[in-house]
Amino acid sequence: DSTGVDRGARQVKSKMSGLGQSIKRALAGPLAALTGAFAFGAAISRINALRRAMDDVAKGAERLSMDPGEFQELAYGAKIAGTNIGTLERGFKKLATEIYNLQRGTSTARDAFGALGLSFADLEGKSRLAQFRLVAEALGEIEDKTIQAGLATQLLGRSGQALQPLL
């Protein structure tokens, strides 16, 4: 008799459906809490990453004696140019050394800055970023890429090559 089998199957299906709903209700609270915990953890992780990034900007700006906003602008430029902030920092340090050498009157510094049409008076008293911009603009005006690369290396060290796209 298939009627009894059909009736039994319907009863089993009904009980299983009820069991499924009971399980859903029982797990709804813990699942919601777990989902909330994951979302909270992700938010905390993002906040920590942002805090670390802001700390890196502040420390980098301090190392180069510049405003954090200027440093962040340079870091973004370095990223677009396909290099990193460490390369930029090394270039700034080398440039500071060469400006000091220019002030002392060393012939190599005088010749390199002279080829760019810059003197110590042009750079004196300006921020490090303003000095870098003057040098970068002057380098950008040199059409012969070999001479441009040589002067960039002379004034910015090995970083000069990596910073070519930024110049």
Q: pLDDT tens-digit profile of 96-151?
A: 999 999 999 999 999 999 999 999 999 999 988 899 999 999 999 999 999 999 99
Is the distance from CB of 112 to CB of 155 less than 8 angstroms?
yes
Distance CA 61, CA 41 (A): 30
Better pLDDT: 69 or 20: 69
pLDDT for 157 beyond 80: yes
Predicted local confidence at residue 63, as pLDDT: 81
pLDDT in tens, 51-90: 776 777 777 778 878 888 888 888 888 888 888 888 888 9
pLDDT at 46 over 80: no
Residues in the chain, overall count: 167
What pLDDT is stored for residue 8 in this prediction?
60
On the question of pLDDT at 14 being above 70, the answer is no
Which of these, 121, 66, 128, lies nearest to 91 by C-alpha position?
128
Q: Regarding predicted confidence, which is higher, 117 or 50?
A: 117
Q: Is 107 left (phi over 0), alpha (psi -120 to 50) or beta?
A: alpha
- Model's pTM, two decimal places? 0.66
Q: What proportions of the chain, in percent to the nearest 5, are helix, strand and coil?
A: 80, 0, 20
Q: What pLDDT shows up at residue 151?
A: 96
Q: pLDDT at position 32, please?
A: 64
How many whole angstroms separate alpha carbon 34 and alpha carbon 36?
A: 5
Half-sphere exposure of 89 (CA within 13 A, CB side): 16
Measured CA to CA, the distance from residue 94 to residue 100 in angstroms comes to 10
